[in-house]
Amino acid sequence: MKTILTTFILMVCVTAMSAQTDTGYVFTNIKDLPATSVKDQYRSGTCWSFSGLSFIESEVLRKGGKNLDLSEMYVVRKCYEYKAEKYVRMHGTINLDAGGAFFDVFWVLDHYGLLPESAYKGLNYGEDNHVHGEVNAALQAFVKSIETNKNRKLSTAWTGAVDGILDSYFGSVPEVFEYDGKKVIENDFTQNYIDIDPSDYVSVTSFTHHPFYQKFILEIPDNWLWGESYNVPLDEMAEICKYAVENGYTIAWGGDVSEKGFSHKNGLAIVPDDNVEDMSDLERAKWEKMSTGEKDKTLYSFKKPVKEKQITQGMRQEEFDNYQTTDDHGMHITGLVKDQNGTLYYKVKNSWNTNNKYDGYLYMSEPYLKLKTMNFVVHKDAIPKEIRKKLGIK
């Protein structure tokens, strides 16, 4: 009986240890801010519009407004109009692609206002979801042919032809539509439902090739509007993000998602520490015997929290300078959580549908945010007063 009892206790202990090991990441909310439903950009390069509008929708909620579903394709269409014009004026030397930045969303808001999704879905080409390969190719081919015009003089028709292409794919923009059970004039929607002043929002980044506490034009292809970002040291960049969320402000985040540590499927963005100098002698000996595949499997299993790198300003700059950090994707930070070890992560709303582990959301570690953030946009009041003072923001 004693032997049986001992065996049973051992089995229970082993089972408990196994369960503890296999629990994966266990997140507890610290701050969960209001956000609208997760959308799907599908096969379109329009993450900047989805995340930028998600951010604006949360800002409307924060200020006591309605739960809105804004039209991403209206913003995309208006940007394409101006991008085509600027491409021709710049003799083909700016980016003419689907990519964009948060500056674009605020530019459309400022110049044209916004529309609800119900008034402008942008699906006028026989698809149920956004598939932009054809429209991108068609628009690029046409506008490039205008820029290389052998007549040496532009006609008066080409801008109308651009509108024609956009109307064909996205649909014409309605002057009047029904919303909230009543007819609304296009320009009145923003005035009635979106109490947002674009001048209240700022872009922040952190790089050493420009002076700190000044603005500069971030040198990335998708910044075709040449929007300026405030430059702060890395620790202050991270401080702003944490302060913003803790004080009720969400963040429009742009950065690199091409890393092995980014997994939408697993809902994680992490930077595992693979530095052997940080390991004990026993760990190092075991690590050095592993193949590259075994090392990757250990670091990127996403099965339980792992030790992550300590990110420095130099590391961040080096990855940007060497094209290891590029402007891949825009998402929306809506909260703060901690794992079972008490480690901090940001709750991030993606625009790749809801078919992942966390219903369209993912959790980004602070090291990942420090290393892979290109820039982010926040309300100016979301910046701590002392940093705002250094930047000259009133």
Summarize pLDDT for 211-266 with one digit per residue, the tens. Answer: 999 999 999 999 999 999 999 999 999 999 999 999 999 999 999 999 999 999 99
Within 8 A by CB and 6+ apart from 355, the residues are none
Q: Which of 223, 276, 259 is nearest to 370 (CA)?
A: 259
Report d(CA 204, CA 79) in Å as an integer: 22
> What is the CATH classification number for the domain harbouring 232?
3.90.70.10
- Cα(192)–Cα(183) distance, rounded to whole angstroms? 12
Q: Which residue has the tokens 């006028």?
A: 124
For residue 5, the model assigns a pLDDT of: 40
Question: Residues 252, 243, 345, 103: what is their CA dihedral angle, to the nearest 10 degrees?
Answer: 10
Residue 328 has pLDDT above 70, yes or no: yes
pLDDT of residue 231: 98
Domain for residue 279, yes or no? Answer: no
Residue 288 within a domain? no
Q: Which two tokens stand for residue 319?
A: 């990855």
Return the closest-CA partner of residue 161 out of 75, 79, 81, 83: 81
CA distance 264 to 328: 14
Domain presence at residue 107? yes
Residue 364 domain-assigned? yes
289 in any annotated domain = no
d(CA 134, CA 170): 12
In this predicted structure, the answer to whether residue 4 has a pLDDT above a threshold of 80 is no
Nearest-10 crossing angle of helices 102-111, 72-89 = 100
The residue whose two tokens read 């603005």 is: 215
Contacts (Cβ under 8 Å, ≥6 apart) of 255 = 325, 327, 328, 329, 369, 372, 373, 374, 375
The answer as to whether 12 is a domain residue is no
191 found inside a domain: yes
| Global pTM value | 0.92
Tokens at residue 283, please? 């760990």
What mean pLDDT is reported for the chain? 92
Question: Confidence band (pLDDT; 50, 70, 90) for 168?
Answer: very high
Q: Considering the domain boundaries, does residue 7 fall inside one?
A: no
Q: Is the pLDDT of residue 71 over 80?
A: yes
Q: Which of 133-137, 152-156, 277-281, 302-306 has the lowest mean pLDDT?
A: 277-281
Considering only CA atoms, which of 28, 34, 98 is closest in space to residue 64?
34
| Stretch 146-158: mean pLDDT | 91
| Count of the separate structural domains present in the chain | 1
Domain that holds residue 370: 26-271+308-391
